[in-house]
């Protein structure tokens, strides 16, 4: 019996949680878990492109992650740089556009240069847009967006949802349809708060390094069975 076709959401967000726990459960350093997490991210990006997903937002490094040890933060910054350089050709070959969401302040200059390089050189691609959330917090993004409006002289009565949305890090970014969180926790963790107003959530106990392309298909299959009403109701029920 043939399986039902997947419902493909336009914008999928992923909270990639569990790298450290994956490593610790195997008696390894947390850095090994983060490296395995990069491997999972590449496989999921490729699967998303193959499935026809238009936007994929990956929670790489949050504004709260600075609270981790200096050693781990330094390693993550190095890993981000390595990822951007090593996977650059992968994005080119697969016609994937890369954008960045997050506060530029606090990020090291060399990390910003690599982010800007990949963003600039992939800006013409339109197969899949990968939104890398680096030094990102949903509340911080909204605050910075409102400050842009104030700095531009926007009158209070002229501040609307549309204008706030347009002032965010990537204003044209569509709302998230589906948010996937690995690692077993059941919370949003300050992830795309504005864009996720009516997103469906899918939680799995799998730690991020164990999340495979077939797990993405399971999440999409579950998404396809959801009744999305956006605050309305079905008059026939």
Catalytic residue check, 126:
no
> What strands, in cross-sheet order, belong to the sheet with 128-136?
96-101, 128-136, 55-62, 11-15, 178-181, 200-203
Contact 138, 164 (CB under 8 A): no
pTM above 0.85, yes or no: yes
Q: For the segment 147-189, what is each residue's pLDDT rounded down to a tens digit?
A: 999 999 999 999 999 999 999 999 989 999 999 999 999 999 9
Q: For the segment 117-128, what is each residue's pLDDT rounded down to a tens digit?
A: 999 999 999 999
**3-class secondary structure, 230:** coil
Catalytic annotation, pick one of 17, 140, 169, 177: 17
Catalytic residue check, 106:
no
Q: Which CATH number fits domain 11-137+175-223: 3.30.497.10, 3.40.1180.10, 3.40.50.970, 3.40.30.10?
A: 3.40.1180.10
Q: For the segment 69-96, what is each residue's pLDDT rounded down to a tens digit?
A: 999 999 999 999 999 998 999 999 999 9
Map tokens 């990639």 to a residue.
16
Catalytic annotation, pick one of 19, 50, 65, 210: 65
Q: Assign 229 a pLDDT band (cuts: 50, 70, 90).
A: confident
């Amino acid at each position: 019996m043939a399986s039902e076709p997947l419902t493909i959401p336009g914008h999928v967000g992923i909270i990639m949680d569990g790298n450290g726990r994956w490593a610790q459960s195997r008696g390894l350093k947390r850095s090994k878990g983060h490296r395995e997490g990069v491997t999972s991210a590449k496989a999921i990006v490729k699967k998303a492109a193959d499935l026809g997903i238009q936007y994929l937002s990956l929670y790489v490094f949050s504004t709260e992650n600075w609270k981790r040890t200096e050693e781990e933060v330094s390693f993550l910054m190095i890993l981000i740089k390595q990822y951007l350089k090593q996977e650059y050709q992968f994005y080119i070959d697969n016609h994937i556009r890369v954008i960045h969401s997050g506060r530029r302040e606090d990020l090291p200059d060399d990390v910003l240069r690599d982010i800007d390089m990949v963003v600039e050189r992939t800006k013409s691609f339109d197969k899949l847009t990968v939104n890398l959330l680096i030094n990102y917090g949903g509340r911080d993004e909204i605050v910075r967006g409102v400050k842009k409006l104030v700095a531009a002289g926007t009158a209070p009565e002229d501040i609307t949802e549309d204008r706030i949305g347009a002032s965010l890090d990537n204003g044209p970014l569509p709302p998230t349809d589906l948010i996937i969180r690995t690692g077993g926790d059941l919370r949003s963790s300050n992830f795309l708060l504005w864009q996720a107003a009516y997103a469906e959530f899918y939680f799995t106990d799998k730690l991020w390094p164990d999340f495979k392309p077939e797990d993405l298909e399971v999440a999409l299959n579950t998404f396809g069975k959801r009744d999305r009403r956006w605050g309305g109701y079905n008059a026939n029920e």
